[in-house]
Structure 1
């Protein structure tokens, strides 16, 4: 009997999770998209700053040794 109730409970939980997942899917996708966009923008900015730093460092080094 315990096994049956366990399986039933698992099915109920699975069904509930599926329903919750279905209702939250759109907002989840939106959140992920926003996060990816934000991360992409931050990464691009950091990359740009990194390139500027490297460029500046290379320029000053080249100038110092010329």
Structure 2
């Protein structure tokens, strides 16, 4: 089963060391996982953020 934990913006920002502006810019460019709306809040699937980090590591 896939890890379905949700991360809030602050957790995502700390995990990837990117600012709000950079994260949303990368989402628009298709280079960062899209957020999931939970009510009015934005959340990210932890496994998608972890996979994004792993792809960066593989590409170096």
The higher-RCO structure (CA 8 Å, 6+ apart) is 2
With normalisation by structure 2, the TM-score equals 0.29
Larger Rg: 1
- Structure 1 or 2: larger strand share? 2
- Structure 1 or 2: larger helix share? 1
